[in-house]
A and B are shown apart, each in its own frame.
Chain A
Amino acid sequence: MDLLLQYIGLGVSSVFYGAQGVLQLMPVLMVLIGVLVGILIGAVPGMSGPFAMAIALPILVSIFGYGNDALYPVLGCLLGIMKGATVGGAVPAILFKTPGTPDAFLTTLDGYPMARKGQGRKAIQTAHFASVMGDNFSDIVLFIAAPTIAVAVERILGLPEKSALIILSLCFMAAVVGKAPLKGLLGGLLGMFVSLIGSTMSGNGPRLTFGLPELGNGLPLTSAVLGVLVISEVLMSIEEMHAAPSSEDTTREAPEMGPPLSWAERARMLPGILRAAAIGTAIGALPGIGTTTAATLSYDTAKRRSATPEAFGRGTPEGVVATEAANSAVSGANLIPVMSLGIPGNFAAVFIILAVETIGDFSFGPQVFQFTPIKEIEGFGTILNANLVLAFGIFTMMVVANFFNWTLGGLLMGFLGHLVRIPKAVILPVIMTVSLTAAYVQDGGYLGLLTAGVFAMIGYGLRRLEISILPFVIGFLLAPTLEGLVRGAFTASGGDAFFLLKSPIAIAMLLMSLLLLARMFRQSR
């Protein structure tokens, strides 16, 4: 227990004090900037948190560089964006019935009628309160669950079980994401296939590189993800603009704002918030199921449990609470599989992992939560698990971001009603330029550009075929880990052909994967 407290203390102070014990404000400042950017971006329809994170990551890396010193400011900003965006998305949903982020769509159901009834201020404050409470709730679950799961996994799971776990998560993700599970599965397999390019860990040199030595360590990650995720989306939007050029709405007047939310009303919301947050957290902890599912499920539950179900859809704060608390709770919970197992479940998590992998020698996984005794060694310094300190530092920055969300978020949301919609004709070229520059600068010049271009085409193709991008990206990111584990499990077993089927846990997980696959095939008939 002492050791745990010591590590938490070190983690907290590592955010505020630099290596030499001097006060540093940069991480906190970057969290603040992240939250502000996140709220603003969240409020702009067509932009979402992960989108902003994708563009921010290369810019941040070029500002702060590599190494563990850069980790806090970069991660702080990304976490800030992630959290800010969950709050900001509700404002245009309430005032103009145009959700700023996809997950705020359900907020329009009750938020917009409230605004029409002259309760705009109340609706926005309800959304803010529910959203931040939901987020904080899931963070607390994260802080407790991630270390616990990691320690348990490290004790119980060996190489075959860890391999089986990743196979199961990939199958699960393919099964739940999008409308057609088989398409998700194909997308995931395609992602895994392109990640085969490069290093093999076999010592026999790189594979599938077409003889290009530059591809020896695989495709440049950031360029690939920017291409498949951001640039392909830009291409789709340009196409949509071309098809319907006059669809841009003119700015609408913000309606009458009405009275603020009272503390008594806030107190009455708490049970609803707790229920919605619990649903959001549970959904968020599973890979692949997004914020929208969480919000829908929570909204339906709230409606069923309500004494006045007929009020839903006509402007009841309960509806806003149910969606906002649930969709915000997803963001913290999504980091549970990331921090304890290294498995990303949504796009925000993908960028957190990407940031960590590009910048320092820190990587997520169960080994992070190893409670090494802290010892002072003469002539060398202190011995401790630096990764664990970093993990608690990351938690600290999340708490700081929550603080900013509580205070500045509430203030800022009041002003967002006046935010003029930025026309797509302006925003798309900016995004395109920034992404291509980022690919060029960060990933080795033309190789980065080419990768981004090819992946943009892949992303465009997937979107046109209505295949969800998420399994592709996560398959792409997880395949090397899976290959390492499977290879390791095989050689460590001494070349046993049934190496994956040696333990009941692994067999159970593989059977579940098979069931999911069978279900996918049955559904597709």
Chain B
Amino acid sequence: MKSIIMVGASLAIFASPAFAEWKPDGPIRLWIGYGAGGGTDVQGRTLAKEIEALRGWKVIPENKAGDDGTVMSAQLKSEAPDGQTLGFAITTTYDFAPMNSDNLAPEDFTYITTTAGSQMAVLARADSGWNTLEDLQAAANGGEQIVWANWGTQVEAGAELVARGLGISVNHLRTEGGKGALNALVSMDANVGWGGGVQKPLVEAGVLKILASAETGPVALDPEKPTLKDIGVDLNLGYQYIITAPAGMPEEIREEIASVVAEILANPESETRQFIEKQYPPAPIVTQGEALRTQILSTYDANIEMMKVFDK
């Protein structure tokens, strides 16, 4: 066993110079698709710092917020795919948003790596007295007006599908980012809303309550609650944080950047990893290469199918 590790280690030592063929020519720009201070921003900035520490590359994060990462992506698309300009957003930016955009397509990008996954859940205020989606359904049927807080077209469509699944009617409220949805809930502008991970402190403080998980499995904060699928709504709104580049990036550059990120996220001491473990439990999600590309493209197709419901 020991010898295998030794062999492995020596292989890694000899192999690493071969993999590290590519080096950036000057500073790398890391364009963050969301505003300063949010979850994506913190992740992107700590990651940039750790890449710099690990490889000595200079990485300069820059916020380009707007429309769920699409404002950033529209600019990223026309940059050179030489590894000097990278984007940091969420998978929704690439596997849903292009549907409503004339100048974005999933093929416009190279998908380098994911870093973490969401904890997508249906939320309500604790003082609403609702515990499950059935309670929400009963309240709606009892004549209460339901306003659902959404931060984007995809989750709004999701909310509508849940409402149709429950046989109730809801009104929608568009908010700015996940944080805006929480604010709308807390300030009683809405009585149901989505949360992708930022809800953690408010749920633990007992202000908000999780009614259901919108991931494929239960959410870590409240594992008792059913998924949407369990209650008959075939919907997965989970997303991952993702590093991208313009299409046509050479394999060796993609692999080199992907392996740096994987190395950082595998290190239990890493600040980025610790942030992810806390905010997006249980651990980083690292999907790379062909698997990631396939995931984006097939989810895009699935999302197109999902939206067809509304064309009727």
The interface bits of chain B over 227-238 (1 if a CB of A lies within 8 angstroms of the residue's CB, else 0) are 000000000000
Q: A367 contacts which chain B residues (CB < 8 A)?
A: 183, 186-187
A362 with B37: CB separation less than 8 A: yes
A366 with B187: CB separation less than 8 A: yes
For the complex formed, measure the closest distance between the CB of A446 and the CB atoms of chain B, giving whole angstroms: 14
A488 with B67: CB separation less than 8 A: no
A217 with B65: CB separation less than 8 A: yes
Contact of A216 among B67, B147, B205 (CB under 8 A): B67
* Distance A208 CA – B161 CA, assembled complex (angstroms): 32
Contact of B100 among A203, A365, A375 (CB under 8 A): A203
Q: B42 contacts which chain A residues (CB < 8 A)?
A: 67
Contact of B189 among A205, A383, A488 (CB under 8 A): A488
Contact of B202 among A358, A362, A372, A493 (CB under 8 A): A372
The interface bits of chain B over 70-113 (1 if a CB of A lies within 8 angstroms of the residue's CB, else 0) are 11001100100000000000000000000011110000000000
Q: B65 contacts which chain A residues (CB < 8 A)?
A: 217
For the complex formed, measure the closest distance between the CB of B74 and the CB atoms of chain A, giving whole angstroms: 4
Chain A residues with a Cβ closer than 8 Å to the other chain, count: 44
Q: B179 contacts which chain A residues (CB < 8 A)?
A: 361
Most buried by A among B71, B153, B176: B71
The interface bits of chain B over 201-221 (1 if a CB of A lies within 8 angstroms of the residue's CB, else 0) are 110111100000000000000
Stretch at the interface among B4-12, B136-144, B166-174, B261-269: B166-174
Q: A492 contacts which chain B residues (CB < 8 A)?
A: 147, 171-173, 189-190
Q: Does B36 contact A (CB under 8 A)?
A: yes
For the complex formed, measure the closest distance between the CB of A434 and the CB atoms of chain B, giving whole angstroms: 22
For the complex formed, measure the closest distance between the CB of A316 and the CB atoms of chain B, giving whole angstroms: 50
Q: Does B304 contact A (CB under 8 A)?
A: no
B70 with A66: CB separation less than 8 A: no
Q: Does B293 contact A (CB under 8 A)?
A: no
Q: B171 contacts which chain A residues (CB < 8 A)?
A: 491-495
* Distance A214 CA – B38 CA, assembled complex (angstroms): 21
Q: Does A113 contact B (CB under 8 A)?
A: no
* Distance A158 CA – B145 CA, assembled complex (angstroms): 14
Chain B residues with a Cβ closer than 8 Å to the other chain, count: 50
B204 with A66: CB separation less than 8 A: no
The interface bits of chain A over 33-56 (1 if a CB of B lies within 8 angstroms of the residue's CB, else 0) are 000000000000000000000000
* Distance A68 CA – B188 CA, assembled complex (angstroms): 26
A360 with B175: CB separation less than 8 A: no
Q: A214 contacts which chain B residues (CB < 8 A)?
A: 75
Given known pairs A68-B37, A362-B37, the reply for A213 and B201 (CB within 8 Å) is no
* Distance A366 CA – B186 CA, assembled complex (angstroms): 11
Can you name the residue of chain A whose Cβ is closest to the Cβ of B78?
A213
For the complex formed, measure the closest distance between the CB of A301 and the CB atoms of chain B, giving whole angstroms: 39
Q: Does B23 contact A (CB under 8 A)?
A: no
* Distance A116 CA – B58 CA, assembled complex (angstroms): 62
Q: Does A300 contact B (CB under 8 A)?
A: no
Can you name the residue of chain A whose Cβ is closest to the Cβ of B191?
A492
Q: Does A275 contact B (CB under 8 A)?
A: no
* Distance A444 CA – B102 CA, assembled complex (angstroms): 24
For the complex formed, measure the closest distance between the CB of A99 and the CB atoms of chain B, giving whole angstroms: 38
Given known pairs A361-B179, A375-B205, A492-B147, the reply for A205 and B101 (CB within 8 Å) is yes
Q: Does B259 contact A (CB under 8 A)?
A: no
B66 with A217: CB separation less than 8 A: yes
Q: Does A259 contact B (CB under 8 A)?
A: no
Can you name the residue of chain B whose Cβ is closest to the Cβ of A201?
B174
A66 with B37: CB separation less than 8 A: yes
Q: B273 contacts which chain A residues (CB < 8 A)?
A: none
For the complex formed, measure the closest distance between the CB of B1 and the CB atoms of chain A, giving whole angstroms: 33
Q: Does A288 contact B (CB under 8 A)?
A: no
**Segment 1-57 of B: residues with Cβ below 8 Å from A:** 35-38, 41-42, 45
* Distance A509 CA – B173 CA, assembled complex (angstroms): 23
A206 with B71: CB separation less than 8 A: yes
Most buried by A among B62, B66, B172: B66
Contact of B153 among A158, A203, A361, A494 (CB under 8 A): A203
Given known pairs A199-B67, A373-B206, A488-B174, the reply for A67 and B74 (CB within 8 Å) is no
* Distance A491 CA – B204 CA, assembled complex (angstroms): 30
Q: Does A484 contact B (CB under 8 A)?
A: yes
B175 with A488: CB separation less than 8 A: yes
Can you name the residue of chain A whose Cβ is closest to the Cβ of B182?
A367
Q: A377 contacts which chain B residues (CB < 8 A)?
A: 204
* Distance A216 CA – B69 CA, assembled complex (angstroms): 10
Q: Does A370 contact B (CB under 8 A)?
A: yes
A67 with B66: CB separation less than 8 A: no
A205 with B37: CB separation less than 8 A: no
Given known pairs A199-B71, A488-B174, A494-B171, the reply for A380 and B204 (CB within 8 Å) is yes
B201 with A383: CB separation less than 8 A: yes
For the complex formed, measure the closest distance between the CB of A204 and the CB atoms of chain B, giving whole angstroms: 6
The interface bits of chain A over 402-425 (1 if a CB of B lies within 8 angstroms of the residue's CB, else 0) are 000000000000000000000000
Lowest 8 A-B CB distances belong to which pairs? A361-B37, A217-B66, A216-B71, A203-B153, A213-B74, A383-B205, A66-B36, A360-B37
- 5 A-B contact pairs sorted by A residue (CB < 8 Å): A66-B36, A68-B37, A198-B66, A203-B100, A216-B66
With contacts A380-B201, A484-B174 known, what are 12 further pairs, Cβ within 8 A?
A201-B176, A203-B153, A214-B75, A360-B37, A361-B37, A384-B201, A384-B205, A487-B174, A488-B175, A488-B184, A491-B172, A492-B173
